[in-house]
Chain A
């Protein structure tokens, strides 16, 4: 299973963190710091895999964002790259040509999309169409504006 996924910028700023294993806040911060440092130190031409503690780390850079997943020993690194790519495609479709700013300003949406694609560290839906449909429907369910004094939802 995937143990966690981190998205961070070239400056090391965290943009999304999804943890599928229980860890204290302190431990999460420590892991994040270490991993961000390790990944940012890699040169551009190096391969996307590295060993870190007892996990395998699969990372890929899309524009200014690093997508970094920690998988277990028996997991397939190449398919994890596909998982990352699929997530980026979903974000792209949803936001229309996604960029880092979209994920910053709509971070909760990024989480919602991820939660329709992966569940408990495993892939739950392999059809792009189904994931996007589910998000659309959920968005429609958000209570309309007038319930909140005529201001946009967020």
Chain B
């Protein structure tokens, strides 16, 4: 209507802030005006009002079926939709627009379809026919629109219907359409993998195209096909030379201004080709060899001054380490990553850390060379970078760098962001457990972690530390003194308080002796100790569990200390009416110990026998959350039951997993349970010398078993498997698994490591516990997996000739 136009022009000159006159029907706005009006709204409510009014218009216009204006109305609706308002009533309009002969209509209609008509909508399938028509009869731009919509939101059913149309377009001469058809094929295969059969044949031919767009699509299509089907993968290995040629053309001869970015020829295409080469070269010697030289060339010649070059270099490195590349090339790749670590650009450092983390298992020694730089990255201010640096640092800890690395990590623990504390603390404790050079260092390390980040350590840290201290008799005095000092300084860190309380309870008398060479002279009176424990008991900072420890410790001191026990008795009787049930129960029982069972008190409160150590508790694997923690997984894997592997081979043999035994509860109950506690087998091995047995010897790697049978437990056999290496090459990724016949029980403990360095480096040891109550003849099947001389080796064999003393 002609009149409408001038009204609209009149409106458009009004500033949006002025109040509108009250009218029954406001005229519809143009898109630009609508946008302006919406932006002018001062409040959410105002915006809603404008939009609601406009949507009413749009609905009316749709109802009237006003064809020429339809695309304008839909465009407005799409804008409103982006702001989050409902737009479902526009769905049918999209269909009408797509079916229209006008290009403008189709353009907006298809856009609307992509935004409003995804495959979950009922109306979705209705566009199939229009797309089919446009694909077969439309002009190139129209075909382009149809292919685009199909690739963005095409459902599986649509893809099946339209596959043959797309296939035809793959062979049309126009590159504009072909490049889109190829990517449409990629989408179709993702939705309907069976369509791979249709789209596989044209691929090889497409690789000979010169148009970069078609090449991009072709490489992507082949990648998708290979990822889905091993048969396709084998088939496409033949194109490796062609891909290498494409790279060569780009890297060496091609400088086309049209495709280059910052001096790098078509980095997008290079990255895509490199990715495909990675898939084709993986686990395939011949293909890997064919691409070796080209990869080296790309790695050395790419201009790395800007991000585009680094992107290509990054992809090259990923490819090199994933295929069977020559060792020199691998070292080059790791060194490139090392260089990335020194780059000013944070993003580059990030990808370097991520990639090195992936490599740390397979190329451990190469990555170790960059350890100083990695440790530097711990000081990064960006949390995502320091997290990566932490994971990588933990993975790089080994027996030779344990002291310096722990020093660095402890430093990091003091200042790192809170969400990294738990991981860092656990990492340090785990590393300490694996590689501690001395028990005293181990105790010191755990204490320091508990002091710095006590609130973030795992629950079993307390148990581990008490077990550790308990086992180190020579360090009892040292430990209890250090813990006493720490406790006196700070009673807020619960794990530390718990350990300290336990120690003081056990070894309190050692605190009183006046001179002790290793630490500063410490003069402690009995009263002071009791006072400290009482302070812990009464403090509001103490958790109930901590209070339990403190109460028990006080009780134990009643037998360790010389003075009279009135103070202790008083405290114990007070807690007899404590509101906390656990404490109350303990206190009542201890009271009873003082009264009726006083004659048993010293026996019950004797020093604890050594607790069985089963190894670190199993972590719950992925609760949907990523475990950023490869070292822990690495340690866990040898003890996880490899049921699928071993049971394949062994019909009747069982293999038990090495799971942790939680140390028994520390609270003491009078009477009956006394025997139970004292029954715990102690770790002191008796030395009935049983001859050892060499079971494996290959290329310098030797595995031998040594045996110990503790006299108190005749059914138990402790085997120590030692892997040593006299060859010139390191043995890495060493995994030792064992299986025994059904009547036996087997527990594998955590191995000391998974690498045996060359030329007689420190061997790996692993303890196996075999329970043989029936005294059956011992047989074992052993499975080894490791990397040696650049090869991965698997060996399975049976051992039958165990010395008689091991099982009789």
Asked whether, in the complex, the Cβ of B187 is within 8 Å of the Cβ of A120, the reply is: yes
User: Which residues of chain B from 269 to 297 have a CB within 8 Å of any chain A CB?
Assistant: 269, 271-272, 275
Report A62 CB to chain B, min CB distance, Å: 15
**In the complex, A82 Cα to B306 Cα: how many Å?**
10
Asked whether any CB of chain A lies closer than 8 Å to the CB of B123, the reply is no
Asked whether, in the complex, the Cβ of B5 is within 8 Å of the Cβ of A122, the reply is: no
User: Which residues of chain A from 67 to 123 have a CB within 8 Å of any chain B CB?
Assistant: 74, 76-79, 81-83, 86, 104-105, 107-108, 111-112, 115-116, 119-120, 122-123
Given A47-B346, A48-B347, A77-B347, the answer on whether A126 and B216 have CB atoms closer than 8 Å is yes
When the two chains form the complex, which single residue of A78, A122, A127 contacts B347, counting CB atoms closer than 8 Å?
A78
Residues of A within 8 A of B271 (CB): 76, 79
Given A82-B307, A153-B104, the answer on whether A119 and B258 have CB atoms closer than 8 Å is no
Asked whether, in the complex, the Cβ of A143 is within 8 Å of the Cβ of B104, the reply is: yes
Asked whether, in the complex, the Cβ of B382 is within 8 Å of the Cβ of A107, the reply is: no
The total of chain B residues at the interface (CB under 8 A) is 76
Report B386 CB to chain A, min CB distance, Å: 11
Asked whether any CB of chain A lies closer than 8 Å to the CB of B335, the reply is no
Asked whether, in the complex, the Cβ of A82 is within 8 Å of the Cβ of B308, the reply is: yes
Asked whether, in the complex, the Cβ of B176 is within 8 Å of the Cβ of A126, the reply is: no
Asked whether, in the complex, the Cβ of A137 is within 8 Å of the Cβ of B153, the reply is: no
**In the complex, A13 Cα to B183 Cα: how many Å?**
31
Asked whether any CB of chain A lies closer than 8 Å to the CB of B68, the reply is yes
Report B576 CB to chain A, min CB distance, Å: 52
Asked whether, in the complex, the Cβ of B315 is within 8 Å of the Cβ of A148, the reply is: no
Q: With CB as the reference atom, state the residue of chain A lying closest to B217.
A: A124
Interface string of B23-34 (1 = CB under 8 A from A): 000000011100
Asked whether, in the complex, the Cβ of A76 is within 8 Å of the Cβ of B382, the reply is: no
Given A111-B111, A126-B269, the answer on whether A29 and B258 have CB atoms closer than 8 Å is no
Residues of A within 8 A of B311 (CB): 76, 78-79, 81-82
Residues of B within 8 A of A37 (CB): none
User: Which residues of chain B from 158 to 215 have a CB within 8 Å of any chain A CB?
Assistant: 176, 179-180, 183-184, 186-187, 212-213
Given A120-B151, A126-B259, the answer on whether A108 and B75 have CB atoms closer than 8 Å is yes
Asked whether any CB of chain A lies closer than 8 Å to the CB of B569, the reply is no
Given A78-B348, A79-B271, the answer on whether A120 and B84 have CB atoms closer than 8 Å is no
Asked whether any CB of chain B lies closer than 8 Å to the CB of A35, the reply is no
Given A148-B68, A151-B5, the answer on whether A119 and B151 have CB atoms closer than 8 Å is yes
Q: With CB as the reference atom, state the residue of chain A lying closest to B87.
A: A25
When the two chains form the complex, which single residue of A130, A149, A153 contacts B213, counting CB atoms closer than 8 Å?
A130
Given A77-B347, A124-B179, the answer on whether A47 and B384 have CB atoms closer than 8 Å is yes
Asked whether, in the complex, the Cβ of A46 is within 8 Å of the Cβ of B382, the reply is: yes
A-B contact count (CB 8 A): 176
Q: With CB as the reference atom, state the residue of chain B lying closest to A115.
A: B148
The total of chain A residues at the interface (CB under 8 A) is 62
Asked whether, in the complex, the Cβ of A126 is within 8 Å of the Cβ of B152, the reply is: no
Asked whether, in the complex, the Cβ of B216 is within 8 Å of the Cβ of A104, the reply is: no
Asked whether, in the complex, the Cβ of B35 is within 8 Å of the Cβ of A49, the reply is: no
When the two chains form the complex, which single residue of B78, B102, B183 contacts A124, counting CB atoms closer than 8 Å?
B183
Report B7 CB to chain A, min CB distance, Å: 12
Interface string of A118-154 (1 = CB under 8 A from B): 0110111111111000100110011100011111111
Report A126 CB to chain B, min CB distance, Å: 5
When the two chains form the complex, which single residue of A82, A119, A147, A150 contacts B180, counting CB atoms closer than 8 Å?
A119
**In the complex, A105 Cα to B216 Cα: how many Å?**
32
Asked whether, in the complex, the Cβ of A78 is within 8 Å of the Cβ of B102, the reply is: no
When the two chains form the complex, which single residue of A22, A46, A108, A152 contacts B153, counting CB atoms closer than 8 Å?
A22
Interface string of B745-779 (1 = CB under 8 A from A): 00000000000000000000000000000000000
Report B500 CB to chain A, min CB distance, Å: 39
Given A46-B346, A49-B347, A82-B311, the answer on whether A119 and B148 have CB atoms closer than 8 Å is yes
Residues of B within 8 A of A24 (CB): 120
Most buried by B among A54, A116, A124, A130: A124
Report A96 CB to chain B, min CB distance, Å: 18
**In the complex, A15 Cα to B266 Cα: how many Å?**
29
Residues of A within 8 A of B381 (CB): 45
User: Which residues of chain B from 292 to 348 have a CB within 8 Å of any chain A CB?
Assistant: 307-308, 310-312, 314-315, 318, 346-348
**In the complex, A77 Cα to B349 Cα: how many Å?**
12
Asked whether, in the complex, the Cβ of B268 is within 8 Å of the Cβ of A126, the reply is: yes
Report A105 CB to chain B, min CB distance, Å: 6
When the two chains form the complex, which single residue of A17, A79, A104, A153 contacts B267, counting CB atoms closer than 8 Å?
A79
Asked whether any CB of chain A lies closer than 8 Å to the CB of B430, the reply is no
Asked whether, in the complex, the Cβ of A127 is within 8 Å of the Cβ of B259, the reply is: yes
Report A30 CB to chain B, min CB distance, Å: 12
Q: With CB as the reference atom, state the residue of chain B lying closest to A118.
A: B183
Asked whether any CB of chain A lies closer than 8 Å to the CB of B440, the reply is no
Asked whether any CB of chain A lies closer than 8 Å to the CB of B55, the reply is no
Residues of A within 8 A of B5 (CB): 149-151
Residues of B within 8 A of A143 (CB): 102-104
Residues of B within 8 A of A128 (CB): 258
Given A46-B384, A108-B78, the answer on whether A81 and B184 have CB atoms closer than 8 Å is no
Residues of B within 8 A of A125 (CB): 179, 212-213, 216
Since A138-B141, A147-B102 are in contact, a sample of 4 more A-B pairs with Cβ atoms closer than 8 Å, ordered by chain A residue number, is A16-B82, A79-B267, A122-B183, A124-B180
28 contacts between A and B (CB under 8 A): A15-B82, A16-B82, A17-B115, A45-B346, A47-B346, A47-B347, A47-B349, A47-B384, A54-B626, A77-B351, A78-B314, A82-B268, A104-B39, A105-B35, A107-B82, A108-B111, A119-B151, A120-B186, A124-B183, A126-B213, A126-B269, A127-B259, A138-B103, A138-B141, A143-B103, A148-B68, A149-B5, A149-B68
Question: Top 6 nearest A-B pairs by Cβ distance?
Answer: A120-B151, A78-B311, A47-B346, A120-B187, A79-B311, A119-B183
Interface residues of B (CB under 8 A from A): 2, 5, 30-32, 35, 39, 68-69, 72, 75, 78-79, 82-84, 102-104, 107-108, 111, 115, 118-120, 141, 144, 147-148, 151-153, 155, 176, 179-180, 183-184, 186-187, 212-213, 216-217, 220, 258-259, 261, 266-269, 271-272, 275, 307-308, 310-312, 314-315, 318, 346-351, 381-385, 626
